[in-house]
């Protein structure tokens, strides 16, 4: 957060109005002290927009709404992807739809059908959960990744990708290698991975879990 002395009254008003904390008509009646409090609230609630990435050549429209993408017997380590779709104030985005697609364990995209492809609407709280497998590596883009395309009324369409901090491609040092070979464009898209042990007494089989929240910007 910037010190308030470097932010003009006008800039603070603009931020408060744009985030809906202050009505545009009320701006002239607000004292400097009140405005500072509003502005700090706005900055405190602010969520950084999710960084964009390219769409890539393998996107297919009209994917079915499916939350379980892995079929029994599919090769690959089970992966659960969870997250929520919000705006830059952390609020629920109404009417969002999410396209998600990735390569199978062997690094192959399904170009004939819709394996490992889904288009869904997050639940009433903006949350989503997808059961799939860790995407494979393929020669032309050798970092594991999941593609996303998110649209919502009144918001800028976001195209992005999630990467995995555990990917051998990053050689165990994401800070040093995140931009290796120019594949990932933004450090914040390389997500930490939680690993769950399976076995006797465990609720679920062994799997990995990634949280990928999506923050949309107003159009």
* Token output for 154: 């009144």
The CA distance from 191 to 18, in Å, is 29
Beta strand segments in 112-213, E? 117-120, 127-133, 145-151, 158-164, 190-191, 194-196, 207-211
Looking at the Cβ atoms of 153 and 192, the one nearer to another protein is: 153
Q: How far apart are CA 159 and CA 125, in angstroms?
A: 22
CA distances from 95 to 32, 118, 213 (A): 37, 16, 16
Whole-number minimum distance, CB 158 to another protein, in Å? 9
| Closest distance to another protein from the beta carbon of 21 (Å) | 30
Residue (140 or 175) nearer to another protein, CB: 140
Q: Report the distance separating Cα 203 and Cα 100, nearest Å.
A: 26
Shortest gap between Cβ of 42 and another protein (angstroms)?
28
* Residue among 59 and 196 whose Cβ is closer to another protein: 59
**Please, which residue, 46 or 55, has the CB nearer to another protein?**
55
Pick 49 or 90: Cβ nearer another protein: 49
Task: Give contact residues for another protein (rule: CB under 8 A).
Answer: 54-62, 106-109, 111-112, 138-140, 149, 157, 159
Cα→Cα distances 39→48, 86, 92, Å: 16, 20, 21
Minimum distance from CB of 164 to another protein (Å)? 19
CB of 59 to another protein, least distance (A): 6
CB 67 within 8 Å of CB 32: no
């Amino acid at each position: 957060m910037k010190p308030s002395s470097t932010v003009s009254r006008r800039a603070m008003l603009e931020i408060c109005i744009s985030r809906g904390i202050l009505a545009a008509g009320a701006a002239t009646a607000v004292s400097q002290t009140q405005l500072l409090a509003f502005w700090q609230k706005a900055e405190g609630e602010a969520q950084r927009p999710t960084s964009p990435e390219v769409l890539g050549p393998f996107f297919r429209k009209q994917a079915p709404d499916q939350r379980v993408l892995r079929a029994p017997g599919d090769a690959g380590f089970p992966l659960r992807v969870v997250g929520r779709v919000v705006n830059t104030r952390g609020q629920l985005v109404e009417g969002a739809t999410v396209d998600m697609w990735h390569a199978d364990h062997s690094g192959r995209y399904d170009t004939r059908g819709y394996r490992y492809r889904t288009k869904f609407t997050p639940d009433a709280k903006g949350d989503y959960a997808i059961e799939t497998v860790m995407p494979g590596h393929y020669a032309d883009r050798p970092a594991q990744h999941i593609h996303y395309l998110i649209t919502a009324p009144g918001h800028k369409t976001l195209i992005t990708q999630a990467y995995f901090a555990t990917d051998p491609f990053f050689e165990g040092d994401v800070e040093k290698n995140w931009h290796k070979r120019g594949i990932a464009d933004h450090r914040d898209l390389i997500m930490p991975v939680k690993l769950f042990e399976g076995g006797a007494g465990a609720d679920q089989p062994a799997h990995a879990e990634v949280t990928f929240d999506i923050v949309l910007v107003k159009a």
